[in-house]
């Protein structure tokens, strides 16, 4: 019995050896259509690095084009050349000079296609194109001109017909069918793009900073919008704007700067002006009434007259403070009079009525702050790290490609977020990540990581794949609107951290979106990265303040790490007997000054402690 088994084993080994020594061979079709694919199978290859390629029949040994590594018995797909003729499929040895181990003849036959669509379309319009052709996986139908092979395109695998968007510039163009392999043009027909016009109308004049309505007529193509700019501003410039897709009547906000301006209807593709109208922005006036003097740390009642535009505010600052500076402040929307907290340091100050848009001073009155009866004390608040639900909204728009030192802003942001989610935010914390502005000329906002227990490794992988693109827009308002959906299933405290280096550029209203989040009990902290515009920094601070949060500035990698860490920490406020907030801060940061007395310290999440502050002493408040 043992002898028979040994015989069978010998035969099996001989058979295996015979197979291994069989001459290499290629199996596949004898014919193929240009630009398509062929399935090829190799047997007898002795080296896993041997490879197969299609080359013209008379090519020199060692020649190869697109290739695939040969795996015995495993079918491989090779791209077929786009020029008809006689070719060979060759199995080439792994090492130079790449000897031919086996070959098979292949006849490549020509292929044709047609494209059929309207003879003419309006500029910027969408239209359908029917096609015939091979319909290979990467074949596409496009519209192009003499300078560019394609301006817009759609893959044939998307269906028949495919939908294209005409350029917004009138002229002569072509509809074209391209083989995806080699981008070879195999069919074309003429297309005329006709010009379009638009009109805009609004009141002849509007107050600075006020909201007003604009009517328009025009093509209403995707992403077309109406904007207001200074009269004579360069083409393709825009400021406050609204998309025509929102309706025949739009609402815009006038700039704070008075003077001659223009309303313009701009195309969504190239921002070309299709229609315009003049509009005069009229300067606002304001006035303030307040006591000539007040005690340090007291509440000052300030009566005001003014436009009461969105986020207008009354603040108290030193007389030498630069335009747009602020100290303690209150929004005019809170009532008349408003109550502003006096500084704790005695001296000469002034009250200012500041516009919410550009922080311009519309009115000012002096006020003298006299010393309080007792010197201030300090309150130091600490809290054990505790996370409820955290969502980070990352601005990845085109401006994030600018550099801070030798690194791009987006790369520094990714490094910071990776560290933050690996070391600062506790693992398994309910966590979400939303990324905005990653597509050219797009107001895209995506929930990259839905709310789920934080897995640092998974989050690091997702962050690594994020990148920015030139000319991507900044939909801050739309992204913050989506946060309500993102955190819909969250329970307990909810914190949102917005990391941005710019302003809203998609016609959204971040301030209004934050007001909705505040009403839903969601706190929003904002980290402004490399913000050079004091007006924008002021706007970001007011947005976060209106959402019960804080604003943090970062200029480089180190300060960005610190700002994002601060933004994750619990915020607190110190409330007096009249339920007025007299100071606020971040747990674990520097103590804050308050006058002696009894207060309530409120920590984010609803926890409170009563404290008594004594002159020139530091009161420690600890939340476990």
Does 337 have pLDDT greater than 90? Answer: yes
Pick among 3.40.50.410, 3.30.70.2740, 1.10.3720.10, 3.40.50.720: CATH of 388-567:
3.40.50.410
Q: Are 552 and 527 in contact (CB under 8 A)?
A: yes
Stretch 438-453: mean pLDDT: 87
Question: Could you tell me the CATH superfamily of domain 287-372?
Answer: Immunoglobulins (2.60.40.10)
Region 324-347: what's the mean pLDDT?
93
Q: Do 539 and 253 meet the contact criterion of CB atoms below 8 Å apart?
A: no
In this model, does residue 15 exceed pLDDT 90? no
Q: What pLDDT was estimated at residue 21?
A: 53
Average pLDDT, the chain: 92
Render pLDDT for 258-271 as a digit per residue (tens, 0 to 9).
999 999 999 988 88
Q: Whole-model pTM above 0.75? A: no
Of the candidates 366, 353, 352, 331, the one whose C-alpha atom is nearest the C-alpha of residue 511 is: 331
Contact 252, 228 (CB under 8 A): yes
Mean pLDDT, residues 74-84: 94
pLDDT of 473 reads 83
CATH no., domain 114-194: 2.60.40.1930
Model confidence pLDDT, tens digit, residues 89-143:
999 999 999 999 999 999 999 999 999 999 999 999 999 999 999 999 899 999 9
Q: Say if residue 57's pLDDT is above 60.
A: yes
Please state the φ and ψ torsions of residue 564, each to the nearest 5 degrees. Answer: -65, -35
Distance of CA 168 to the CA centre of its chain: 25
User: Pairing mode, if any, of strands 171-179 and 551-554?
Assistant: unpaired
Strand partners, 349: 367
pLDDT score of 12 more than 60: no
**What is the reported pLDDT for 384?**
86
Query: What's the confidence (pLDDT) of residue 454?
Result: 96
pLDDT in tens, 590-606: 999 999 999 999 997 67
For the chain, give every residue range classified as CATH 3.40.50.410: 388-567
* Partner residues linked to 192 by β-bridges: 120, 172
- CATH 2.60.40.1930 domain extents, the chain: 114-194
User: Is residue 281 packed enough to be buried (19+ CB in 10 Å), middle (13-18) or exposed (0-12)?
Assistant: buried
In this prediction, residue 17 has a pLDDT band, given cuts at 50, 70 and 90, of: very low
Residue intervals of the chain classified under CATH 2.60.40.2840 are 20-109, 199-282
Q: Is 54 exposed, middle or buried (0-12, 13-18, 19+ CB in 10 A)?
A: buried
Name which CATH class applies to 199-282.
mainly beta
Give mean pLDDT, residues 364-373. 97
CATH 2.60.40.10 domain position(s) in the chain: 287-372
State residue 605's pLDDT score: 67
Domain 20-109 coded CATH 3.40.50.410 = no
């Amino acid at each position: 019995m043992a002898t028979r088994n040994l015989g069978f084993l010998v035969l099996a080994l001989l058979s295996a050896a015979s197979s291994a020594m069989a001459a290499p061979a290629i199996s596949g079709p004898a014919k193929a259509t240009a630009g398509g694919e062929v399935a090829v199978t190799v047997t007898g290859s002795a080296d896993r690095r041997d490879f197969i390629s299609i080359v013209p029949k008379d090519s020199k040994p060692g020649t190869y084009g697109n290739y695939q590594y040969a795996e015995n018995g495993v079918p491989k797909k090779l791209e077929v050349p786009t020029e008809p003729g006689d070719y060979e499929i060759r199995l080439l040895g792994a090492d130079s000079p790449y000897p031919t181990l086996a070959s098979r003849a292949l006849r490549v036959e020509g292929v044709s296609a047609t494209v059929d669509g309207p003879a003419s379309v309006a500029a910027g319009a969408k239209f359908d194109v029917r096609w015939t052709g091979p319909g290979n996986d990467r074949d596409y139908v496009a519209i192009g001109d003499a300078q560019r092979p394609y301006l817009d395109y759609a893959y044939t695998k998307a269906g028949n017909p495919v939908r294209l968007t005409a350029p917004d510039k009138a002229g002569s163009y072509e509809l074209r069918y391209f083989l995806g392999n080699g981008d070879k043009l195999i069919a074309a027909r003429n297309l005329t793009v006709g010009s379009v016009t638009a009109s805009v109308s609004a009141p002849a004049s509007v107050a600075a900073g006020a909201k007003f309505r604009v009517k328009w007529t025009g093509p209403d193509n995707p992403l077309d919008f109406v904007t207001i700019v200074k009269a004579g501003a360069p083409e393709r410039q825009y400021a406050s704007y609204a998309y025509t897709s929102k309706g025949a009547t739009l609402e815009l906000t006038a700039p704070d700067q008075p003077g001659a301006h223009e309303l313009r209807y701009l195309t969504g593709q190239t921002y070309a002006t299709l229609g315009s109208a003049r509009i005069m922005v009229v300067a606002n006036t304001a006035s303030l009434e307040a006591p000539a003097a007040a005690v340090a740390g007291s509440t000052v009642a300030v009566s005001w007259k003014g436009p009461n535009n969105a986020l207008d505010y009354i603040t108290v600052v030193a007389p030498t403070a630069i335009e747009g500076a602020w100290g303690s402040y209150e929004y005019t929307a809170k009532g008349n009079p408003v109550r502003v907290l006096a500084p704790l340091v005695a001296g000469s100050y002034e009250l200012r009525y500041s516009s919410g848009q550009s922080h311009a001073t519309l009115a000012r009155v002096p006020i003298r702050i006299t010393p309080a009866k007792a010197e201030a004390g300090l309150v130091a608040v600490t809290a054990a790290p505790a996370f409820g639900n955290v969502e980070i909204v990352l601005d990845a728009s085109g401006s994030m490609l600018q550099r801070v030192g030798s690194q791009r802003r987006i790369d520094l942001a990714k490094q910071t977020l990776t560290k933050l989610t690996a070391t600062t935010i506790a693992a398994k914390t309910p966590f979400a990540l939303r990324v905005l502005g990653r597509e050219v000329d797009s107001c895209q906002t995506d929930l990259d990581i839905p709310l789920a227990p934080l897995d640092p490794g998974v989050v690091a992988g997702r962050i690594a794949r994020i990148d920015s693109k030139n000319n991507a827009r900044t939909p801050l308002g739309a992204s913050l609107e989506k946060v309500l959906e993102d955190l819909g299933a969250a329970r307990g405290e909810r914190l949102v951290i917005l990391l941005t280096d710019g302003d809203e550029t998609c016609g959204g209203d971040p301030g209004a979106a934050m007001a909705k989040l505040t009403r839903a009990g969601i706190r929003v902290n904002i980290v402004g990265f490399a913000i050079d515009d004091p007006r924008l920094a002021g706007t970001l601070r007011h947005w976060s303040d209106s959402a019960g949060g804080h604003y943090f500035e970062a200029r480089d990698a180190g300060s960005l790490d610190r700002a994002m860490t601060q933004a994750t920490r619990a915020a607190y406020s110190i409330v007096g007997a009249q339920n007025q907030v007299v100071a606020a801060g971040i747990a674990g940061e520097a103590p804050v000054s308050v006058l002696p007395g009894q207060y309530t310290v409120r920590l984010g999440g609803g926890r409170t402690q009563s404290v008594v502050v004594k002159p020139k002493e530091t009161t420690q408040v600890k939340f476990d």
